[in-house]
A and B are shown apart, each in its own frame.
Chain A
Amino acid sequence: MSWFYLLSGLFLGWNLGANDAGNIYGTATATKMLKFTTAAIISSVFVVLGAMISGYGTVRTIGELGDINAIAGSFTVSLSAALTVFLLMKRGLVVSVSQAIIGAIIGWNIFTASPTDMKSVAEIISSWIMNPVLSGIFSYFIYSFLTYRSKKTKMHILRIDVYMKRITILVIAFAAYSLGANNIAKVIGVFIASSPFRDIQITEGFTITALHQLFFTGAVSIVIGIITYSNRTTETVGTRIYRLTPLSALSVIFSASLVLFIFSSSGLERMLNYLGLPAPPLVPVSITQAMVGGVMGIGLAKGGRYLNFRILGKTGLGWVITPVAAGVICLILLFIVKNVFDREVYKEVKFEINKAVIENINSNGISVENFSGARDSTFESHQSFRLFLSSLGYVKEEQLYSIFKSAKLEYFRVDSNFAKSNMNPYVFSAEQINSVMSLHNEGFRHRWQLVDRLKSKSPEWNALPDKYENLYRNKKLNDRIIEVCDMFLIK
C-alpha cells in the first residue's frame, strides 16, 4: 500500500518531465536544430545526474518546512499540489508546482497543528521573486553578449549554425541537470520522512540508501515524463510566449537553468560562503517562471519589445493564488483522507515540558517567564501542545517552531557497536566517532539532549561562529549531527 502512496509524487515527476523538460528543448526541436530523440536522451541522462548529485539541498529545505511523517499525508500533500496546478492552469494562470507544493505543505502543518518554520518560508518566498528577476538579468546580459559577438564575427552563417547546435546540446544538458537538481524536491521532498524504501546493502561498505532509491525513483518518473509525453508539449512550446529566434531561446534557457542551478548548488553555496558572501537559499523554483523572466530580459535587451505585462501580472497573481489554493485544497483532502478513508495522514508526536526543556527553550533566545507557573507535563498531540502554549501566550509561529523542537519527545539510545559499523570514517572524524562510542548505552528523551552531550564530549561537534564563511561548514556539521541522531533514534 505504501508504494501506492508514492504515485502522487511520481505523477508530479511525470508532469515535470512532460512539461518543464519539454520547455528546455522545445525551441531546439521545433526549429529542427536537434532531433527529439537526441534531446530526450540528453535530458533524461542529465535530469537523473542532477537529481542524484545535486538534488539534496532543495530536498532538505522542503523537509525543514514540513516534517511529513506519514506516507498518506505525503501522498495527499503531493496530490493537492498536482490538483491545484491542474485547476489553476485551466484558468490560464502561470502556476508552478514549486509554489503549490509549498502551499500544500503549509496546509499539512495547519491541519496537524505543527508550527511552520517562518525562516524557511521567508527564504522560499524571496526565491520566488528572485527567480524571474535573476533570470531576466542573466538573459539580458547573455543575449546582449551573444548578439554582439555574432554580429561582429566574421564566421560564416553555416559555421555559426554548426557551433550553435553544439552549444545548444551543452545548454540542454546543463538545463536538464539543473532541472533535476532543483526540482527533484518537488517530486520526492514530501516523502523523505515517510519513505517506503529501506537501505539495501550490496557488499560490505557499499549500501544503496533508502534516500538514494527515493531520489532515483523520482528522477525516473521525470524521465518517463520526458519519453512519453514531452514531444507533445515541445510542439506547443513553438507557439508559446518564448517562441523566439534560436539565439534568444538559447539565452532564455541558459539563464533559466543558471538560476535553477544557483538555487540548488551546494558547491556554489560553499564557494560564496567561503568568500564571506551570503549564498542564495537552496529552494525548488519554477523553470517556467524563470523562463518568463528570461523572455522579459530579452525584451529589455531589444529595447522594451516583447514585454508582455499581462503575463507578468498573471505570474504575480500565480504567486499569491497558487500557494493559498494548494493550502486550502490540501486541508480539505487531508480531512477527507483522514476521516472518510480512515488513513493516518500524520503520526502523533508527544511533547513534554519540564525544567530541562524550559532551560533549552530559554537557551534558544525565547523568554520563558510565561512557563513560571507551569507544571511538568506531557502532551499527546500537536494540537494539545499548541493549545497549552497559546494559553501561556505563545502564539508567534517562530516561537512555537522553536518550542516544539525543544519539547518534542523522541527516544535515543547510543550503541557503540552500531556507531562503529555505521559511521563512515570519510564523513566523520575519528574524534567524532570516538565521542559517540563513549556514550555507549546512554539514553536521551530529546534530540537536543543527545546533541548537547556530544558537544560536551568533543569540541568537534561545536558549530563555528555565525559568519558567512562558516555557514557551509556549520550546515554540513548539522547534517552529520542529524545523521547521528537518526542512527540512534528508537522508532
Chain B
Amino acid sequence: MHIFGENTHQDMFLKKTKKLEVQIDEFLDKILNASLYFKQGVKYYLSGEPDLFYDALEKIDITENEADNLRRTIETILYKHTLIPEQRGDVLGLLESSDKVVNNCKEVLFKFSVEKPEFNNEYLQRLESLSESSVTSVECMVSAVRAYFTEFIKVRDHINKVIFFEKEADMMAEKLNREIFGNPGLELSKKIHMGYFVTEIENIADFAEDVCDRLSIAVIKRYG
C-alpha cells in the first residue's frame, strides 16, 4: 500500500504483469492437462472402457475451450498494454501454435468416438506406447515454452527432448504402419483405417515439434 492509500502507477503495472504471468501459466497448464486427458482417452479406448473414455473426451473438450479463452485474454492484454513489444509477435505465435496442439488432441479423441476404429490385439500395446511418446513430447514442449518465459537457459534442453520424443514417435508409427500394411490377414479398408489413426496420434508429436521450431527462432531473436 502506498503512503497516500493508493498503489503507485508502477506498482499497479507490476500487479498487472503478475496477473498476466499467472494467466500464461494457466494456459500452459491447460495444454499439459489436455495432453494427459488425450493419453487417458486413448488408453481407455484401447482397453475397452467406454465410460472412462467419454469422461476423458468431455474433460478435453472443456479444457480446450478454457485454453482458447485464456489465449484470447492474454493476447488482448499484451496488445492493449504494449507489453514485451519486441517479443510480442513471437509470444503470440507460440501461444497460437500451442493451442493447435490442444485442438489436435481433442480432434483425434473425437474421431475415436465417431469412427470407432477397430485394432487387432497385437497392436494395442504399441499404439498405447505411441500415444505416450506423443504426449511426452507435448509435455516437454510445454516445459520448453514455460522456460522461454521464466528460465531461458533451459529452453534448449527441453527443445532437444521434444525432438527426441518426436523422432521416437515417428519411428514407432512408421514401424507400426509397415506391420499393419504388411499383414496379409487384414482387409485393405481396415489397414487404411488403422494406419490413419496411427498417423493421427503421431501427428500430435509433430505439432509439438512445430511449436519448438517457432521457439528456436524466438530464442535466436531474443539474444542472437
Contacts and interface: CB of A to CB of B under 8 A. Distances in A.
Contacts of A153: 152
B121 interface: no
A147 interface: yes
Specify which of B14, B21, B83, B152 lies most central, judged by the most chain A CB atoms within 10 Å of its CB.
Answer: B152
B87 interface: yes
Interface string A133-167: 00000000000000100111111111101100010
Contacts of A150: 152, 223
A247 B84 CA distance: 12
A152 B151 CA distance: 7
Main secondary structure of the interface of B (DSSP, over half): helix
B224 interface: yes
A83 to B, nearest CB: 39
Contacts of A33: 85
Nearest to B13: A162
A152 B153 contact: yes
Nearest to B149: A157
Interface residues of A, number: 22
B223 to A, nearest CB: 6
Nearest to B91: A157
B84 A159 contact: no
Given A151-B223, A162-B13, A302-B224, A156 B84 contact: no
A157 B153 contact: no
A302 B82 CA distance: 28
Given A152-B153, A245-B224, A302-B224, A158 B83 contact: yes
A32 B82 contact: yes
A336 to B, nearest CB: 51
B148 interface: yes
Nearest to A155: B150
A54 to B, nearest CB: 29
Given A154-B151, A156-B150, A161 B83 contact: yes
A305 interface: yes
Interface in A16-40: 31-33
B62 to A, nearest CB: 27
Contact of A161 (B18, B84, B224): B84
Interface string A383-402: 00000000000000000000
Interface in A30-81: 31-33
A159 B151 contact: no
B7 to A, nearest CB: 14
A245 B86 contact: yes
Interface string B1-19: 0000000001001100110
A154 B14 contact: no
B152 A159 contact: no
B222 interface: yes
Contacts of B149: 156-158
Contact of A156 (B21, B82, B86): B21
A246 interface: yes
B181 to A, nearest CB: 46
A157 B14 contact: no
A359 B222 CA distance: 69
Interface of A: 31-33, 147, 150-159, 161-162, 166, 245-247, 302, 305
Given A151-B223, A156-B21, A158-B21, 14 more contacts: A31-B86, A150-B223, A151-B152, A151-B153, A154-B150, A155-B150, A158-B83, A158-B149, A161-B17, A162-B14, A245-B86, A245-B223, A245-B224, A247-B223
Interface of B: 10, 13-14, 17-18, 20-21, 24, 82-87, 91, 148-153, 221-224
17 contacts: A33-B85, A150-B223, A154-B150, A156-B21, A157-B84, A157-B87, A157-B91, A157-B150, A158-B21, A158-B83, A158-B84, A159-B17, A161-B84, A245-B221, A245-B222, A245-B223, A247-B223
